[in-house]
Amino acid sequence: MKIHNFGAGPCILPQEVFQKAAAAVLDLNQSGLSILEISHRSVAFDEIIDNAQNLAKELLDIPKGYKVLFLQGGASLQFSMVPMNFLPQDGKAAYLDTGVWSSKAIKEASLFGEVLTVASSKDKNYSYIPKDFNLPQEASYFHITTNNTIYGSEIFEDYDVAIPLIADMSSDIFSRKIDVSKYDLIYAGAQKNVGPAGVTIVIVKEAFLEKKARLVPTMLDYQVHAKNDSLFNTPPVFPIYVSMLNLEWLKSQGGVEKIEYQNLQKAELLYQEIERNSLFKGNVETASRSRMNVTFSAIDEDIEKRFLSVCKEKGIHGIKGHRLSGGFRASLYNALPLSSVEYLVETMKDFESSKS
């Protein structure tokens, strides 16, 4: 039975990426060595990480003056690294609270300085993106989480602000066009839309690196990693390699502009069915609905249990909502084909017909 993977992460990847990665585990480019055993100081890995960096720059149209880093610790470590590097002890940082991950980032930042939550959607269970807020101009930076994997909201605007802008793009990076020049630092755990768990992508403006606020431990210093081209210590070789393969695949598909069009098609198809189907309802306000993580609920608990059972029988994987939000969550990452969304929609229609 074909499995349709709607899991929120680690993400679905193209089959050809799996095949190339599996072959490299046995023999990397006919070298006689596995990707798992090559030196991170080797010419072979230099080519891999250089290619991954160049692909990221090309696909996101990253302007000159930015570094692309491959770090470890996931986005969760970035919650601490950002304020540790850029929030002075007597300074302030502005944060937009739009979900669990932004809340965690706020909690970590408060250990290093004063955090100003400029707006929050917690009052309505994170079902919308706040629009009206004022930024304190004395803040060292403004932090946002562009896509909220748990509750299913997304920021599509590249904010034009007068203070440095920092974004956690873990679950929507490379899914749509962005204006990187508006951001001073972007970070993303690769396991949501790029590659396997174990590597974190950081895109940082070189001029912003000079604003380091304090002395920090070496491994948590962005300047150290930038000066060493992500090779200060042994990097996560295999996750970087798989991410490179996935970026090659994305380029072969026509790049970010083409994949954004496909992602929009997938999201519109599913949201239309949620609105039409009498057994389901959406969880997020229309203007804030995520293209990557579509969250919805059944009209009652019995319907929810029955539909989850049907999905299991039909090979629809990862559709159960996060434990904090309940209901359902369909993650429509880049590699998920439109045919899988069509299959889910047909399953929803058949389920409704069986109840009538």
192 is catalytic: yes
Q: Are 143 and 115 in contact (CB under 8 A)?
A: no
Q: Are 97 and 121 in contact (CB under 8 A)?
A: yes
Residue 168 token pair = 């956690």
Residue 271 token pair = 């949201």
Residue 232 token pair = 């200060």
pLDDT at residue 355, rounded to an integer: 74
Residues near 300 by beta carbon (within 8 Å), at least 6 away in sequence: none
Closest CA to 83 of 109, 57, 103: 109
pLDDT at residue 221, rounded to an integer: 98
pLDDT digits (tens, 9 = 90+) for 180-216: 999 999 999 999 999 999 999 999 999 999 999 999 9
Mean predicted confidence (pLDDT) in 287-297: 98
67, 97, 172, 192: the active-site residue: 192
pLDDT at residue 120, rounded to an integer: 98
Q: pLDDT at residue 356 above 80?
A: no
Q: pLDDT at residue 2 above 90?
A: no
Mean predicted confidence (pLDDT) in 22-41: 97
Determine the straight-line distance between the first and last CA of the chain, rounded to whole angstroms: 28
pLDDT category of residue 324 using cuts at 50, 70 and 90: confident
97, 101, 184, 249: the active-site residue: 101
Q: pLDDT at residue 349 above 80?
A: yes
Q: pLDDT at residue 80 above 90?
A: yes
Mean predicted confidence (pLDDT) in 247-251: 98
pLDDT at residue 102, rounded to an integer: 98
**Sequential DSSP letters for 80-101:** HHHHHHH--TT-EEEEEE-SHH
Say whether the peptide bond before residue 10 is cis (omega within 30 degrees of 0): yes
249 is catalytic: no
Q: Which residues pair with 329 in a beta bridge?
A: 295
Q: pLDDT at residue 66 above 90?
A: yes
What are the structural domains of the chain?
A: 15-252 (3.40.640.10), 256-355 (3.90.1150.10)
168, 172, 184, 221: the active-site residue: 168
Q: pLDDT at residue 65 above 80?
A: yes
